[in-house]
Amino acid sequence: MKLLPNLFTLANAAVGCLALYFISVIDFETATYCVLICCIFDFFDGFLARALGATSEFGKQLDSLADVISFGVVPGAVATLMLGILNVDFPWFFIGFIITLASAYRLANYNTSDQNKAHFSGLPTPANALLWIGLTHIEAEITFNLIVGAVIVTSFLLNSSFKFYRIQLKYSLLSVVKVLLMIVLMIALWVQFGHLAWSIAITVYILFSLIYSLVARSKG
């Protein structure tokens, strides 16, 4: 049973590889579902590790390696493909992979520093991946400046010191209610906006976190 969390982590990496394939053939619908499944695996591998008493340094490192694929290479590939679709010349469309480098740096920093259990320091990589995969479903015209601006902003946020709310499933009614409420709100957004809802939700999450961080700093 103690191998189960690591199997979930490997499943995260495997589905992340599938997401990359579907992005390469411009099947953003399937790629979006792959990223969502990766998020589910990523959420539950940690939960299972704690519940089974199977937390380990190996599992921690394996989790980050899987996250580099699913939540680092995937959004980088999305941004790079968007630039390629705009016929951006080589090598400039590789600007999109700055996200991958920023994600790898964040994950390494996360593994080697003390993290507050109440919040994340910087934008979590799964949230960033959801933001980018959601953008593939936007109907408005996406320009070169918009993509590059988004690459710069999200790469900065990944490694910033801003406080981002940390969703944790604990053995308490309040924790379960919070998670269920978030699920209901996401379903409502998805019904209204389709897969673009993921980008909308993460944008709101980012704005809320930035405001919270600025208020906290002003009080401190």
What pLDDT, in 10s, does the model give residues 122-152? 999 999 999 999 999 998 889 999 999 999 9
The answer to whether residue 71 is domain-embedded is yes
The answer to whether residue 164 is domain-embedded is yes
Find how far residue 148's CA is from the centre of its chain: 18
The answer to whether residue 29 is domain-embedded is no
Q: CA-CA distance, 112 to 159, in Å (whole number)?
A: 14
pLDDT tens per residue, range 78-113:
999 999 999 998 888 899 999 999 999 999 999 888
The answer to whether residue 14 is domain-embedded is no
Q: How many domains does the chain have?
A: 1
Token digits of residue 145? 């400046």
Radius of gyration of the chain (CA): 17
Q: CA-CA distance, 141 to 82, in Å (whole number)?
A: 11
* Local confidence band at 217 (pLDDT 50, 70, 90 cut-offs): confident
Token digits of residue 73? 């290479």
For the chain, where are the E strands, in sequence order?
Answer: 119-121, 163-165
Lowest mean pLDDT among 63-67, 71-75, 212-216: 212-216
The answer to whether residue 57 is domain-embedded is no
Range of the domain at 73: 64-219
Which residue, 146, 133, 145, 142, is CA-closest to 194?
A: 133
The answer to whether residue 81 is domain-embedded is yes
